[in-house]
Amino acid sequence: MLPVTTRCIERIDCGMSLRRRISRWVALLRYHRPSQFGWRLYRIIQRQLRKRLPQRYVFSPSHGRVRWKPGARVAMAKIAQRRLRLWPLRSVHAAAMADGKFCYLNETRDLNIDSSASAIQINWNPDAPRLWRFHLQCHEDMLEIVEAKGAAAAFQIVDSWIRDPRHRSPSGDPDAWHPFCISRRMPVWLALAASHDLPVGLQEVFWKSVSDQLAWLCKNCEWDLGGNHLLENLTAIYLADCFLDFGDQETRWSVETELMRQLADQILPSGEHYERAPTYHALMLVCTLQCIEAAKYAASPSCEAMVKVAGRMTQLARWLRQPDGNMPLLSDSAREETPDLDLLFAWADDHVNEADFAGETGFDGAPDYWMHQSEPGDRLIFDVGPLACDHLPAHGHADLLQITATISGRDAIVDTGNYQYEPGDMRTYCRRTSAHNVLQLDEREQCDVWSSFRMGRRGHPTSIHRGQIAGYRWCSAMHDGFSCPTGRIVLGGDACWTIIDWFVGDRGRPLATSRLHWHPDWQLEVTDSEESATAWLTDNPEKRCRITRLNLTGKLGLHDGYYCPCFGEKVANQVLVNQDRFTGKGWLGLFISLDTTGVSTPPVVTLKDTNILSILVTGGGSIALSMQDGSVVGPA
């Protein structure tokens, strides 16, 4: 994730309309916190001064001796054990990385400068996307390399990094000394040093580098950005503050107060991280658990508060977890970046008694999500929350009122995912409205996503309601992302789901399109003159479901799409498209029967002249919703 900058206008296409330029500036001023602008201005001035000042005023290498505090090495070794295998895919490539063949974002590069040399020599500045270079600089594979090839192999890579002349000061390699990379690297280095004895020739330069990097990090925390970057910064400093003895330099760092302030700000009452991306939620839980380990060692009075935060985060993560064990790919989530949830929850269970949090957050209908599970493995999640954190929208997508679903414990209706962070066609593709299971009017976007992490105008959810009728559970919500009121209601029965989208008050005659992106494991076929479709698992054709179009006019069709569960991975999939053209107002509906016997009956949906959407379900239950504000106006 790149920091918010005031240079954003320079990245706007020259041919862009003045109106859009103004809109993006207005959004920047409206949603970002004043402190972000202040810190950004400070960083700009700081960078300019650093270019002009003598190096000794910019960076002063440390001269103090760093050592473990009594008992701290054992405590840090516990964190090392918990981190090992927490990201399973790292173990797959660990042995090759020990030989200099690094694989990140599904792209492998041989960086060993001289394979004939006795000690590995890494090219630490390859021509690669910035996120790839960041992964290289973070050293997060070291524990897995130890497991695959032994501690000596990992220490050789660390030694190669330390002895690279460009890594002696921040001016030599901005990537290596980026605060985020230091923050990710420090816990791994400390875990490595705690679990295995440092080679004699590495000890002095290792601890000197640790001291230098932490000193630089303390002066360059990402206050202008905040979010997960800042929490990573503070976690690295907190671990060092608790576990390491810096002699007379120790009083420089008092980070616990700010760490607790950030946890209170970034972790919502529901337990969700405010950037609202499940992968980043899990990563911030890792940070919190590391801090708990450090706080317990230091006997900090803040430990209890950290445990409560971790408890809420764990409870939400357990609730969001799919039957296949993965997190749903909402916003900028990626499978290989998400920690193994079994290992993560086992770590949390060492500290958290979730019974203490039962009933606190009401996860059956959490503020940002609604779930219906009709039988084990058949589950639909309806995301009724904001599309991003308003002052930090970098990881948000145009996905207001998104749904995802699993059938028989397998991914079925999926988010497109995230292919890359570099600006480009695929970054745009994965963020735009059409890449999500939502309603779109013509080619309008729910929000103005641009560059890699920018967002201008944006919609927000409104008027969320939940209830039950005649054996069905339902949830409805609206958003203001288009030029007219737009809403969705989802109903869940014993073996069926109903999804109905509507809009009202549009001045034109828009083409309304409701999409369902299916996992590549599912094959679809449209039948009955574009009125229904059948979906079945390619490796188990007997497991199938039937999708019926509820709107009397319009048509169903199949489009080609991409599914991107991991960075750099793009798999062709099918998108079921329900379309019709309306004047002023209209609705589209799909009924998904999970019962292969076909006994589930679709509801009867009608649109009344008074902008009332009437829904009559099997068994005689009914509900009537106002299309203007989403309010329940009574039975149909």
The predicted model gives 151-180 an average pLDDT of 93
**Residue 248 lies inside a defined structural domain of this protein:** no
Q: What is the distance of C-alpha 202 from the center of its chain?
A: 37
Whole-angstrom Cα distance, residue 362 to residue 371? 12
Residue 534: is its pLDDT beyond 80?
A: yes
The confidence score (pLDDT) of residue 530 equals 87
Phi, psi angles (nearest 5°) of residue 122: -100, 140
61 vs 117, residue with greater confidence? 61
Same domain, 159 and 44: no
Residues recorded for the chain: 636
User: What is the Cα–Cα distance from 524 to 544, expressed in whole angstroms?
Assistant: 10
Q: What angle do CA 578, 371, 88 make, to 5 degrees?
A: 95
Do 339 and 373 have their domain in common? no
The answer to whether residue 73 is domain-embedded is: yes
Shared-domain flag, residues 499 and 620: yes
What does each C-alpha distance from 231 to 92, 183, 213, 249, 527 come to in angstroms? Answer: 28, 9, 17, 23, 51
Which of 359, 262, 287, 288 is closest to 319 using CA atoms? 359
The token pair that represents 109 in the structure block: 């590069």
Q: Which residues contact 156 (CB under 8 A, 6 or more apart)?
A: 119, 120
Question: Domain for residue 85, yes or no?
Answer: yes
> pLDDT tens across 432-458, in order?
999 999 999 999 999 999 888 889 999
pTM above 0.75, yes or no: yes
Q: Give residue 56's pLDDT.
A: 75
Angle, to 10 degrees, between the axis of helix 256-266 and the axis of helix 278-297?
Answer: 150
Q: Are residues 401 and 358 in the same domain?
A: no
Same domain, 84 and 38: no
Backbone angles phi, psi at 382, to 5 degrees: -110, 115
Cα 270 from Cα 623, distance rounded (Å): 29
CB atoms within 10 A of CB 575: 20
Residue 325 to residue 406: CA distance in whole angstroms: 11
Q: Please indicate, yes or no, if residue 228 is contained in any of the structural domains.
A: no
Do 386 and 505 lie in a common domain?
yes
Do 419 and 567 contact (CB within 8 A), yes or no? Answer: yes
Query: Backbone phi, then psi, for 565, in 5-degree steps?
Result: -75, -20
Q: What is the DSSP letter of 114?
A: -
262 pLDDT higher than 90: yes
Instruction: Look at residue 318 and tell me if it is in a domain.
Output: yes
Residue 460 predicted with pLDDT over 60? yes
Higher model confidence: residue 502 or residue 600?
A: 502
Q: Provide φ and ψ at 628, rounded to 5°.
A: -80, -45
d(CA 269, CA 361): 7
Give yes or no: residues 52 and 88 share one domain. no
What local confidence, expressed as pLDDT, does residue 355 receive?
63
Q: How many helices (H) and strands (E) does the chain have?
A: 16, 26
Q: Give the domain-ending residue among 58, 73, 97.
A: 58
| Structural domain that includes position 21 | 1-58
Whether residue 229 is contained in a domain is answered as no
Rounded CA separation 279/564 (Å): 14
Count of domains observed in the chain:
4
Q: Is the pLDDT of residue 305 over 60?
A: yes
Summarize the confidence of residues 385-396 as an average pLDDT. Answer: 94
**Residue 342: is it exposed, middle or buried by C-beta count within 10 angstroms (0-12/13-18/19+)?**
exposed
On the question of pLDDT at 250 being above 90, the answer is no
* DSSP code of residue 484: S
Tell me, what's the pLDDT at 10?
41
Bridge partners of 68, per DSSP, are: 244
Tokens of 278: 């499940």
pLDDT of residue 251: 42
Share of the chain above pLDDT 90, in %: 75
502 SS3 class = strand
| Domain end among 153, 184, 212 | 212
Give residue 634's pLDDT band: very low, low, confident or very high (50, 70, 90): confident
**Residue 619: what pLDDT?**
81
Q: Are 430 and 419 in contact (CB under 8 A)?
A: yes
The pLDDT of 96-118, averaged and rounded, is: 88
CATH number, domain containing residue 491 = 2.70.98.70
Same-domain status, 522 and 378: yes
CA dihedral for 575, 576, 581, 586, sign (positive or negative): negative
For residues 2 and 79, membership in a common domain is answered with: no
Q: Residue 389 pLDDT > 60, yes or no?
A: yes
* pLDDT band of 243, cuts 50, 70, 90: very high
Clarify whether residues 409 and 543 are in a common domain.
yes
Percent of the chain with pLDDT over 70: 93
User: What is d(CA 413, CA 409) in angstroms, rounded to the nearest whole number?
Assistant: 12
* CA triple 87-133-118, angle to 5 deg: 85
Among the listed residues 526, 543, 528, 522, the one whose alpha carbon sits nearest the alpha carbon of residue 596: 543
Arithmetic mean of pLDDT, 374-396: 92
Q: What is the pLDDT of residue 8?
A: 40
- What are the E-state strand segments in 482-603? 486-492, 496-504, 511-517, 522-527, 532-537, 540-549, 555-563, 571-581, 585-593
Taking residue 629's Cβ as centre, other Cβ atoms within 10 Å add up to 14
Secondary structure of 255-296 as H, E, C letters? CHHHHHHHHHHHECCCCCECCCCHHHHHHHHHHHHHHHHHHH
Cα angle, residue 123 at apex, residues 122 and 124 outer, rounded to 5°: 95
* End position of a domain, from candidates 181, 212, 243: 212
Compute the average pLDDT of residues 358-371. Answer: 65
Q: What is the mean pLDDT of residues 242-269?
A: 84
Of the candidates 273, 175, 289, 269, the residue with the CA atom closest to the CA atom of residue 228: 273
DSSP 24-86: HHHHHHHHS-HHHHHHHHHHHHHHHHHHHS-HHHH-----SPPEEPTTHHHHHHHHHHHHTTS
Are 501 and 587 in contact by the 8 Å Cβ rule? The answer is yes
Whether the Cβ atoms of residue 386 and residue 371 lie closer than 8 Å to each other: no
Q: How far apart are CA 114 and CA 69, in angstroms?
A: 39
Q: Show the beta-strand stretches assigned E in 182-281.
A: 244-245
- Check residue 610 and give its pLDDT: 84
Tell me whether residue 227 is in a domain.
Answer: no
In a domain, 384, yes or no: yes
Q: Which residue has tokens 């990626």?
A: 334
Per-residue pLDDT band at 248 (split at 50, 70, 90): low
pLDDT digit string, tens, across residues 69-80: 999 999 999 999
Tell me, yes or no, whether 444 and 545 share the same domain: yes
Domain shared by 515 and 614, yes or no: yes
Dihedral pair phi/psi, residue 96, rounded to 5°: -65, -35
